[in-house]
Amino acid sequence: MKKILNYINGELIEPKSGQYLDNYNPAIGKVYSLIPDSDASDVQQAQEAAQAAFPAWSVTPKDERSRILMKLADLIDANLDELAKAESVDNGKPVSLAKSVDIPRAASNFRFYATAVVQYSTHAHEMEDTAINYTLRQPIGVAGCISPWNLPLYLFSWKIAPAIASGNCVVAKPSEVTPMTAYLLSKLCIEAGLPKGVLNIVHGLGPKVGQAITEHPDIPMISFTGGTVTGKHIASIAAPMFKKLSLELGGKNPNIIFADCDFEKALSTTVHSSFANQGQICLCGSRIFVERPIYEKFKTAFVEKVKRMKVGNPADDTTKMGAVVSKSHMEKVLSYVELAKEEGGAVLTGGNQAHIEGECADGWFIEPTIIEGLSFDCRTNQEEIFGPVVTIMPFDTEEEVLMMANSTKYGLASTVWTENLKKAHRMARNLDVGIVWVNCWLLRDLRTPFGGAKQSGVGREGGFEALEFFTEPKNVCIKY
Ligand code: NAD
């Protein structure tokens, strides 16, 4: 069986323990490869490699760092088919999605930071004829990057690219649920000529490998994307050590549809924003609020469209929804459907495990599910489900929908559908979230700040924000 290896000090190596974990193909429901069950000793080895590489890498000219990252991006493009297939098998997502979104975006992440770092400049503050202050932005040392399973290579590279572009070295841990493309990336790093130790990838469990990275006294910054509970735990360890922390956490995003929207666009994008990647994108709109005059019309059309979505083998190009990531995740998502029923919700479509014929007969699939009749403050509408389950509710006024939209502990993203410009601005200003999409969803300019408010995170990724996170500002004041 195929064995994934750690990537430490430029080499692909076995975990020190010699132990491996099972890696499942969720569409088949079977183990198909093995993941290193690494521990603190592997993290220690990776940290030492990163620390040793830091002095040379941090002074490597930006143009040279940029050239290597560009080469890595080109290699990702050149291996698009293999990487997309691997992502689909590992995660359960349709191969068409991995090919059009996940893998091209991973290449874009490297390309974006390869160019951003050479464009990045700092500030000078002049005190009239007294003095000049200028700010240096210096790489810090070894960064810990921990990522989740939903967009594996996409989110992994979103951290690694700015970290190494700005001159740091990295100890990274991909999700143990979807480690394959990070492993394939490590091979491409070798091919691209990335100096040894600049990037180290340690595979394994969160409470072992992630915990060891978080606790390591010589990893002074942690960039984490994952669940809010894990983020809270990481913060509790990192904060007393005064580590720099970037936390991208969960969401419960409102999708607000006014009666004056472009109905067809709102409808088709809502299908996408509800169920893309099986609803397992932190930005998916899981609470759909529709203004009462169009509520029945929208609901009927939405249910009809969703009923026609093809749930099937992720390897099939016509599949719109593949498998969810694991059996335990499927059970968790379906338990929320049961909770919704207990809370008085009516399932308009879906609600069950989907059974696919052929080689996917034992896979973990869920029918796209729409639930109505729930109050905005019930558990189903307050807790993150992170699967293909959405709720739909009517509203009467802007004030009412804002109150309901802002009622959760999360504040990641929101979608607003209206043709009224003033209303769009008002909503955007008053939503307690980090990202507002008006008449669109998941339209991403990589220069913009990305992240959440409230319990959806701390700090921002994207653009120069990430370069600021991975560098330390130092003010130098020179008297004239
Ligand atoms: P998770 O929190 O279970 O795991 C994320 C990563 O943290 C994994 O690599 C895991 O191994 C590691 N981890 C687990 N325990 C750890 C510990 N004690 N110390 C250090 N690391 C540990 O999240 P998940 O289930 O992989 O991902 C789904 C969650 O991620 C959802 O809540 C989703 O909303 C969130 N997410 C957020 C964003 C965003 O940008 N805000 C993007 C994608 C996903």
Ligand 1 atom 39: residue of nearest CA: 248
Residues sharing a CB contact under 8 Å with residue 238, sequence separation 6 or more, in sequence order: 214, 222, 245
Place 300 in a pLDDT band, splitting at 50, 70 and 90.
very high
- Summarize the confidence of residues 177-196 as an average pLDDT: 98
pLDDT tens-digit readout, 433-456: 999 999 999 999 999 999 999 999
Report the pLDDT value the prediction gives residue 121, as an integer from 0 to 100. Answer: 95
The mean pLDDT value of the chain amounts to 98
Write down the domain spans for the chain: 2-249+456-479, 253-445
pLDDT tens-digit readout, 319-360: 999 999 999 999 999 999 999 999 999 999 999 999 999 999
Query: For a pLDDT cut of 70, what percent of the chain falls above it?
Result: 100
Report the pLDDT value the prediction gives residue 368, as an integer from 0 to 100. Answer: 98
Of 153, 211, 225, 253, best ligand 1 pocket probe by most atoms within 8 Å of the beta carbon: 225
CATH entry 3.40.190.80 includes domain 253-445: no
- Summarize the confidence of residues 184-203 as an average pLDDT: 98
Residues sharing a CB contact under 8 Å with residue 79, sequence separation 6 or more, in sequence order: 184, 188
- Summarize the confidence of residues 365-382 as an average pLDDT: 98
Q: What is the DSSP string of 337-369?
A: HHHHHHTT-EEEE--SEE---GGGTTS-EE--E
Known catalytic residue at 282:
yes
> Has this prediction a pTM greater than 0.85?
yes
Known catalytic residue at 284:
no
251 Cβ below 6 A of ligand 1: yes
| Collapsed DSSP state (helix, strand, coil) of residue 323 | coil
452 Cβ below 6 A of ligand 1: yes
Query: For a pLDDT cut of 90, what percent of the chain falls above it?
Result: 100
434 Cβ below 6 A of ligand 1: no
Report the pLDDT value the prediction gives residue 122, as an integer from 0 to 100. Answer: 95
Report the pLDDT value the prediction gives residue 409, as an integer from 0 to 100. Answer: 98
**Closest atom, ligand 1, to C-alpha of 174:** 9
| Collapsed DSSP state (helix, strand, coil) of residue 382 | helix
- Summarize the confidence of residues 162-177 as an average pLDDT: 98
- Summarize the confidence of residues 243-270 as an average pLDDT: 98
Place 189 in a pLDDT band, splitting at 50, 70 and 90.
very high
Of 176, 248, 384, 461, the active-site residue reads 248
The CATH number assigned to the domain with range 2-249+456-479 reads 3.40.605.10
| Collapsed DSSP state (helix, strand, coil) of residue 416 | strand
**Closest atom, ligand 1, to C-alpha of 204:** 11
- Summarize the confidence of residues 423-432 as an average pLDDT: 98
197 Cβ below 6 A of ligand 1: no
Report the pLDDT value the prediction gives residue 45, as an integer from 0 to 100. Answer: 99
pLDDT tens-digit readout, 131-161: 999 999 999 999 999 999 999 999 999 999 9
Sheet of 253-257, strand order = 346-349, 369-372, 389-395, 285-291, 253-257, 413-417, 435-438
**Closest atom, ligand 1, to C-alpha of 282:** 34
